[in-house]
Each structure stands twice: as C-alpha cells, then as structure tokens.
Structure 1
Amino acid sequence: MFIEASQSLVGGTTLTVFVAACGGETELGSSNRGSGSHTESTTVENAVIVPAYLPGSCAIQLEAGALMRFTVTNNRPTAAERLLEVSSDAARKARIITNVDIPPQSTVGFGEPSAEAVDPGGRAAAVRLNELDPGLRPGMPTPVTFHFQHADDTTMPVPVEACPTQAQ
C-alpha cells in the first residue's frame, strides 16, 4: 500500500509540472489572433472571408462577392473604438455595412453572433467584399488591413473559407 501511495505522489508531481509547463505557453497569446501581435488597445480575431461558390463546384463566384466575418475587441478602459475601413488586394471594394462604436472593454462580432453577457457591444453586419480578385482560392489566406479610429492599422492573413462539402 505504501508503494501505491508513492507512485500516486510521483504521478501527481509529474502532472503538476506538465500542467505548469503548458500554462506558461498560453501566456504568449492566442494562436487565433491573426495579427500575431499583443495589441493592448484593439484586436481583430477569427477573421474569415466567405465567398459564394458555384453550385456543384468549388469555384468562387467572383461577381457575387464575399462576406468577411471577424470580431474586434476594444480593450481600452474608457474610450470607444470604431472600425473605419477594411482594405485588401483580394477585393477591389470592401464596404462596412454597419458603422458601430465598439464600447470600452467589449467585443463586437462583424457577421458573427455574440453573447450579450460577454459582449455588450453586440453584433454588426459582416463586411461586404465586391469585385473579387480572380486569384482568390478556397482555403488560402490573403492579407487584409483593418483601419481604426484610434488604434494603429492591423494587417493580418485572413483565410478564404474552404469549399463547402456536398452531400451525394
């Protein structure tokens, strides 16, 4: 019985060391922050371009444009933030459908649902991309720049949603 207790103690110590080592890595930042930065004032996350596909094919309907979905978090304690413009070589025009102030210490989902308890800012319409670049490909990222009222511009690779699977 003493041997079993010792083995449990050693196993628990090993587990504690392993958990502590993993915890240290999470302090470096989330891997889904496309900007790869540790911006303290404003962050953009979970960005994706969602194009229309030709029925029965994985070809993007360039003339149909696309929607870009993402979240913006304003970490400032008192000042609101505003997304002024989005630009990318992937589209000739990017239109912010809803101009919205992002309240202090809140997150707004552009084209994404938001939980009110976590997100007093709410939800805004997705950004509309028109006149898509013919080189745009499903599953591949393209650089997008987000221009803000207060924060510096943030440029990050934004993936194009992969071709939807089709039931046969």
Structure 2
Amino acid sequence: MRSSRSSRVLVCVSAAASAAALSACGHDAATASSNRGSGSQTEGTTVENAFIVPTFVPGHCALQAGSAASVRFTVTNGRPAGVERLEGISTDAAAMRDLAVTADIPAKSTVGFGQPSAAAVDAGGSRPAVHVDALDPQLQPGMSAMMTFHFSDQGDITMPVPVEACPTQASTP
C-alpha cells in the first residue's frame, strides 16, 4: 500500500515539475533590441535610440509646463549604396507639428542626433539634437508620443518615441 501511495506522490511531483518547466516554453522571446526607440522595423533605414528629452523642474520629476525639449535618436542607412536623406519629423506632441531637420546619411553609416557621449563610429558622424517647442502638457516621463520620420528613399517611419525618465528623483525631507 505504501508503494502505491509513494508512486502517486512521485507522479504528482513529477507532473508539477514538468508543468512548471514547460510553462515558459510557449512564449516567444522578443527578438527586437529594447533600445531601438520603440522598435522601428525597416528594410534599409532604421531609427533607433529615440527619446524625447524634456526640460524638468529642477529637483522634481515634473516637466516644465510649455517648455522646449530635444529629440535624440540615431538613423542607420543599411543599404550597400546610395545616400538616404532625412527630410523632416512630424508629431502631434508639440506646438510646432513639423520639425525642421534635414540630413544625409551615407550608405552603411549611422548618424547620431543629440547623442552627447557617442563618438562617431563611421562616416555618418553626429548632429545636434532636434529642437521641439512647447511639448503637449499631457506628456509625462515614461509616456510616448507618436513621431513620423520622413525619408527620401525609405518613406515615412512612424513610431512611438518615449519621454525620457526623470534625471533625478525628488528628495524627501
């Protein structure tokens, strides 16, 4: 009698262990990099590491109402030949809907816009961040705004661009 009870316990423990081990097998892992500025997926041109960098109230995790911001991002032209041209950016998250920015991205190169610590790694180089006037007052750190990047060859790439998190947390007395 003891052996049949032991067998049932062993079967139950084995089944529970198998269920726990197999429960993670049905979920496909995200294959996209988490730092792609919200995951633009394109053939030849990509926009990555895109962030809206607002002006914060000093010492607080709050945006200054009506303040300007910067948009930092990188553009990669993965084509083997031919220059890609960034012709502009548009968004509904700012008073000025169309942001004036143009740049040529050489073939097999990356151009960083407002990437403060990034050294040029190829012929693309770097450019200043794109200036945005008067952000939507509804935007908060951690939220995203839809932005459309307009390119000469690729066409439009529309993607959510996150608002950068607070640089410092407010201290409590």
Query: 1:5-154 to 2 correspondence within 5 Å?
Result: 28-34=31-37, 36-93=39-96, 94-96=98-100, 99-112=102-115, 113-116=117-120, 118-154=121-157
The answer to whether the Cα contact below 8 Å between 1:108 and 1:114 also exists between their aligned partners in 2 is no
2:22 match: none
8 Å Cα contact 1:106-1:120 kept in structure 2: yes
Alignment length, in residue pairs?
Answer: 142
1:74–1:105 CA contact under 8 A, matched in 2: yes
Q: Give ranges in structure 1 of 5+ residues lacking alignment.
A: 1-24
Equivalent residue for 2:17? none
C-alpha deviation, 1:30, in angstroms? 2.6
Deviation track 1:60-110 (CA, whole Å, cap 9, x = no partner) reads 12332100100000011111111111111211225345x321111100000
How well do the aligned residues superpose, as a CA RMSD in angstroms?
2.3
Q: Show CA shifts across 1:9-55 (max 9, x none).
A: xxxxxxxxxxxxxxxx78x4433334535422100000000000112
Report SS of the residue matched to 1:144.
Answer: strand
Following the alignment from structure 1 to structure 2, what is the Cα–Cα distance between the partners of residues 91 and 58?
A: 20
Identity fraction in percent? 57
Cα distance change on mapping 1:38 and 1:163 into 2, 3 Å: closer
Q: Please give the alpha-carbon distance, in whole angstroms, between the structure 2 residues aligned to 1:70 and 1:54.
A: 23
TM-score, structure 2 length as denominator? Answer: 0.72
> Match for 1:156 among 159, 164, 168?
159
For residue 152 of structure 1, report the CA deviation from its aligned partner: 2.2
TM-score if structure 1 supplies the norm length? 0.74
What one-letter code is carried by the residue in structure 1 that aligns with 2:166? C
55-64 or 122-131: bigger deviation: 55-64
Q: What secondary structure does 2:66 align onto? A: helix
Gaps of 5+ in 2: 1-28
